[in-house]
Amino acid sequence: MAGAAALASLAAVAAGWLDLHGSTTTTLLLPRRWWPSPSSVAEPSSLLLGWWTAASWPGAVEALRAAWDAARAAAVAPALAAASWACLALSAMLLADAVFLAAASLPPPRGRRRYRPGPLAAGPANEEDVGDEEAGGGGRAAGAYPMVLVQIPMYNEREVYKLSIGAACGLAWPSDRVIVQVLDDSTDPTIKDLVELECKFWASKGKNVKYEVRDNRKGYKAGALKQGMLYDYVQQCDFVVVFDADFQPEPDFLTRTVPYLVHNPRIALVQARWEFVNPNEFLMTRIQRMTLDYHFKVEQEAGSSTFAFFGFNGTAGVWRISSIKEAGGWEDRTTVEDMDLAVRAGLKGWKFLYVGDVKVKSELPSNLKAYRRQQHRWTCGAANLFRKTGAEIILNKEVSLWRKLYLFYSFFFIRKIVAHVVPFMLYCVVIPLSVLIPEVTVPIWGVVYIPTTITLLYAVRNPSSLHFIPFWILFENVMSFHRTKATFIGLLELGSVNEWVVTEKLGNSSCKPVMQVLEKPPCRSCWDRCTISEILVAIFLFFCATYNLVYGGDFYFVYIYLQAITFLIVGTGFCGTSGSNS
């Protein structure tokens, strides 16, 4: 009962300010709670406080109500209506793109039918094989094992460095035809010593392992990869593989990917799919897996099948070194150096191939703050890259008009801008505000039909996770709040546009198979685990939902309450792990 009374009071406060029903009794409620009553004023005749008389109350309230009505009709309602229709138009564009991607990714992969790998011989190419570059990769015979460089960039990776180095050294490839290059930017001397010892351990077993360090972290990951390509021993390599520090390729990774490059000289990149060691650790990791599964099964597959282009995922991919050089090498102008290289190579006419049946194990962030930072880096970097390359894409004359249109519109504008901004603006701003502004009504097709169709297109590729779809929607709307901020930071090149924080990896996640929905944070400072911006959004949504519950004629409050609760849970830190295990 106390809860119901509180809800009714809150709704009455809302009605008092907005006065959607024109009730004088209701409009008097809020001022009398916030301002002193006339009887509390000692001298009503005072020039300073004379307006507090009982007689002045109705006039003041009516003036406030008239001002609000005028502002609402003249500015608030038209602005909200414009925002509503803009979001609905962008939602329709999102739906059209989702239908296109689903249609392109559902048939058997056309890219792998078009580009078939051939067998590799058991030895290196000889002098007589060199000559016809069209016969194979880098001027070598098509059937020879080419020289492969495996790069592993890392930064203070205490928990996972052994996993990636050991997996790279265990690749089934002639030992004289592969170089494992560990690019260590660690600032912790103890970790650097451990990584160097691990490299020496594998070198003592006959593996060709190179341990390389820099005296600065200029360019972060892109800078390390660029520096790694400058060493003399790299000049003998035809292809380069990149693995992040938590990635563990299977021994047959090279034998299942490199042949595509050897036998198809116009392919620059072969991208494998990510697999995860900790998807069932928390509800948050389960949701991440659903999002990334859609990215690989639909977005990457569709790009590979239609235009032979997609964004390089930064790891678990094999590049033709000549294509990297032709595209201008690694650049550190954004925080998505992988996507930057892919766009520049794509504009040179190089083709990409996604092989979804080749999977590489990796770790999902189980720390909420680490996940937020990762999403900020990916989202902000992509938006900033769009700003930097948009004109270049339009003016490019080396690729077809259709490929340019796909790059500019579908790849960048829809998936890197619209897909991040619309969920938050429509479902967390426009719809909640519309319950307070009666002049604005969001049509049912925009509230129900379009999002339901998009959700079904997402869910159809993850049938085993259908029961998690409601949680996925609510959590992704929370993350869209941060992605929206990151998008505008990238587009406008604001202060934190080049902020780079390495995603924390725990390394022992596979030892905790039991899924948990929430984890109670340890007793720490409230400011440490709380995100004030998310809590403020939760309060706003609670306000809108309560008003709609008491005075509205629809059932928007059901969704808005659920979304408010999700913002509150995430904002107070009851999601994922709370810190590292170190």
| Selected catalytic residue, list 185, 238, 244, 246 | 185
Question: DSSP assignment, residue 45?
Answer: T
Angle made by CA atoms 376, 359, 191, in degrees to the nearest 5 = 60
Secondary structure string (H, E, C) spanning 297-348: HHHHHHHHHHCCCCCCCCCCEEEEHHHHHHHCCCCCCCCCHHHHHHHHHHHC
Q: Name beta bridge partners: 153.
A: 183
Report the number of secondary-structure helices (H) and strands (E) in the chain: 24, 7
Helix axes 532-551, 469-492, angle to 10 degrees: 120
- Active-site annotation holder among 184, 293, 332, 338: 338
539/428 Cα distance (integer angstroms): 12
Residues whose CB falls within 8 Å of the CB of residue 373, separated by 6 or more in sequence, listed in order: 501, 503
CB 529 within 8 A of CB 521: yes
d(CA 219, CA 494) in angstroms, rounded, equals 18
User: Are 262 and 118 within 8 A, CB to CB?
Assistant: yes
* Token pair recorded at residue 371: 């996940």
CA 427 – CA 438 distance, rounded (Å) = 17
Query: CB-based burial of residue 228 (10 Å sphere; 0-12 exposed, 13-18 middle, 19+ buried)?
Result: buried
> Which residue's structure tokens are 């451990």?
194
The two three-digit tokens of residue 479, written as one number:
């993350």
> Is 185 assigned a catalytic role?
yes
Across 230-258, b (16+ Cβ under 10 Å) vs e yields eeeebeebbbbbbbbbbbbbbeebbbbbb
Nearby residues of 483 by Cβ (< 8 Å), 6 or more positions away: 375, 376, 379, 420, 421, 424
Q: How far, CA to CA in Å, does 226 sit from each of 13, 140, 220, 343?
A: 60, 24, 10, 17
Amino acid code (one letter) for 406: Y
Active-site residue numbers?
185, 338
